[in-house]
Structure 1
Amino acid sequence: MSELNLELQDTQWPRTYIDHDRQIVRAIVVDDQQKYYFVKVQRDDDFGKGTFIETSGGGVEAGEDLTTALKRELREELGANVDIICKIGTVSDYYNLIHRHNINNYYLCKISSFGQKNLTQAEIEDFHLSTLKLTYEQAVDAYEKQTNTKLGQLITNRELPVLKRARKLLLHK
């Protein structure tokens, strides 16, 4: 199965200009029982107020390769040590409100063990980041329910196709 390659536009806010690109790593994380792990984010910022489901991940830091960044992000946000099964693909999307182009590199990962989370102050105080453990059907439902907000629509447009591709990859293993 070929890698997913999506190019999405921000249909929620008008584009004035884009002044930076951000390399991001994200993962569909599963365990032995076929449960999927996500982060729940509660926001009240420039994007508006809302609670969202999102894949775990974040920005690639200077000097990091994608897999090193991915493993670091999953340890920090989920407390999970993972084995990377494969790269699912890349989703290019835009957040016009903050003038940013995201290059999201998605991976399918299996949990090998859990340890301590290492959340930043912003993740704790501003985003109230917590872990969600869901079945595939529960995750699809959660994504579909958040499309009533502008940011929720952007997140779902980016992540639901990736989740569906991950499910196919797991079923064909």
Structure 2
Amino acid sequence: MDLIKEIYEKDIGYNYESINISYKIRKASRSIVVNDSQKIALLFVSKNNYHKLPGGGIEAGEDIKTALNREVMEEAGVNIDVLGEIGTIIEYRDKHELLQISYCYYSEVKGDIKKPSFTEVERNSGFQLKWVTLDEAISILEDDAPDNYLGRFIQSRDLMFLKSAKCLLNSSNI
């Protein structure tokens, strides 16, 4: 899978003073999920004023696509057929000594859309699922104003995934 970008704190307006960081590595999978109306799943995190793509961490014993299917079912309430790869983004979250590798795919809804089953943390963060066009999603993320460190990384990462997907779709590579 192609590397799209490496995101550093300076890219999101932070400059955490750290030397010789020993990063904990977290791998995650996420997807741009398209329904029959050609709209994509987008999650609004109301507590911190940003949007994100469905997806999350790969748990012990899972492969990337198993985690992807689990996360998309939990957060968007759908099973998916993966149609292609978007790419990989690496985030250097120095403040938390975390290096996150996110693998992003493009997929379509398979079967019925059900109600998401958000975790308690996601419910407390005010997660809300919406379906919007790809162009609307890009515009929404460009206008977001996350009020926390994590939200700014997510905004930057997912905006890059959406713009990369648009380029891939326009060139018909997926």
TM-score bucket of the superposed structures, by smaller chain: 0.7 to 0.9
Question: What does residue 4 of structure 2 align with?
Answer: 5
AA partner of residue 51 (structure 1): N
- CA-atom RMSD, angstroms? 2.0
Q: Secondary structure of 1:23's partner?
A: strand
AA partner of residue 161 (structure 1): M
In structure 2, relative to structure 1, the CA distance for the partners of 1:18 and 1:41 (3 Å cut) is farther
Instruction: Give the C-alpha shift of residue 40 in structure 1.
Output: 0.9
Question: What does residue 73 of structure 2 align with?
Answer: 75
Question: What does residue 115 of structure 1 align with?
Answer: 114
Instruction: Give the C-alpha shift of residue 150 in structure 1.
Output: 5.5
Instruction: Give the C-alpha shift of residue 36 in structure 1.
Output: 1.3
Q: Conserved in 2, the CA contact under 8 Å of 1:26 and 1:58?
A: yes
Question: What does residue 166 of structure 1 align with?
Answer: 165
1:142 aligns with 2:140: yes
Paired residues in the alignment total 165
Q: Secondary structure of 2:49's partner?
A: strand
In structure 2, relative to structure 1, the CA distance for the partners of 1:117 and 1:99 (3 Å cut) is same
Q: Deviations over 1:66-96 (max 9, x none)?
A: 0000000000111011100111111001222
In structure 2, relative to structure 1, the CA distance for the partners of 1:70 and 1:3 (3 Å cut) is same
AA partner of residue 27 (structure 1): S
Structure 2: distance between partners of 1:170 and 1:110: 14
Greater percentage in strand = 1
Alignment of 1:1-173 (within 5 A): 3-11=2-10, 12-16=14-18, 17-43=21-47, 50-113=48-111, 114-125=113-124, 127-147=125-145, 149=147, 151=149, 152-171=151-170, 172=172, 173=174
Q: Deviations over 1:118-141 (max 9, x none)?
A: 22111112x111102112222111
Q: Conserved in 1, the CA contact under 8 Å of 2:49 and 2:145?
A: no
Runs ≥4 residues deviating over 6 A: none
Q: Percent identity?
A: 30
Structure 2: distance between partners of 1:128 and 1:99: 26
Unaligned runs of 5+ in 1: 44-49
Q: Conserved in 2, the CA contact under 8 Å of 1:18 and 1:101?
A: no
Q: Secondary structure of 1:155's partner?
A: helix
Structure 1: distance between partners of 2:143 and 2:115: 30
Instruction: Give the C-alpha shift of residue 15 in structure 1.
Output: 4.6
Instruction: Give the C-alpha shift of residue 27 in structure 1.
Output: 0.8
Structure 1: distance between partners of 2:146 and 2:79: 34
Unaligned runs of 5+ in 2: none
Q: Conserved in 1, the CA contact under 8 Å of 2:5 and 2:89?
A: yes
AA partner of residue 128 (structure 2): S
TM-score w.r.t. the length of structure 1 is 0.85
